[in-house]
Amino acid sequence: MKEFWDQRYAEEGLAYGEKPNEFVREYLEGREPGRILFPCEGQGRNAVYAARLGWEVEAFDYSEVAQQSAMKQASLAGVEIDYQVRDVLEFSPETGKYDIVFLCYVHLKPEWRKQVYPELVRGLKNGGALVMEVFTKTQLAYQAISGGPSKEELLYTPDIVREEFAALREVYLRDFHTTLDEGKYHVGPAHVLRYVGRKEEV
């Protein structure tokens, strides 16, 4: 899979466009900047956008090609981001470091999610939020048009999200049909899920 993503990110142009994801834009707009993490961030469109708003941005991906592209975009925008090349399965954050962890179309195997998600939650500050936009299982009907995984196990339902983030307080959860316009690989009708979960003080 790393070879697949390296090849995609090496193509001419940005695979998922220059603009941030719509939910990233909506969620961050007007919020007091803090520290935010974008795991599996690809070419940096969301990380660069957050940095332009004044956020202290950390991001990572296991593709060196993605990192190079992201750093180029950050340089063109005149912002700084801390973007590392890292395997998500090896990520172990400092406890209570982030105000927001944003998962934007991060589709991991269920057994990987059991390992990764508790680490991401641990990395949140008390009161911090895990925010995500992902494809649902309904997206299989649109996969050939607007992208996303072709394997059902990599897709989501509201019940899956509630179960896998049971440690967080659900603030927002909605799955719905939409029309994507994100580069050349997320274009057209799609079915997505948006979620916000907050880490409560223990």
CATH assignment at residue 107: 3.40.50.150
**pLDDT, position 202:** 62
* CA-wise closest residue to 100 among 57, 61, 45, 135: 57
Is 78 part of a structural domain of the chain? yes
Is 201 part of a structural domain of the chain? no
Strand order of the β-sheet with 98-104 is 82-85, 56-61, 35-38, 98-104, 124-135, 186-198, 169-182
Q: Which domain holds residue 157?
A: 2-196
Is 53 part of a structural domain of the chain? yes
Compute the chain's Rg from CA coordinates: 16
- Provide the whole-model pTM: 0.96
Is 18 part of a structural domain of the chain? yes
Is 17 part of a structural domain of the chain? yes
* Number of domains comprising the chain: 1
Is 20 part of a structural domain of the chain? yes
Q: What percent of the chain has pLDDT over 70?
A: 100
Model confidence pLDDT, tens digit, residues 38-86: 999 999 999 999 999 999 999 999 999 999 999 999 999 999 999 999 9
Q: Report the alpha-carbon distance of residue 57 to residue 53 in Å, rounded.
A: 10
Q: Report the alpha-carbon distance of residue 114 to residue 108 in Å, rounded.
A: 10
Q: Are 44 and 59 in contact (CB under 8 A)?
A: yes
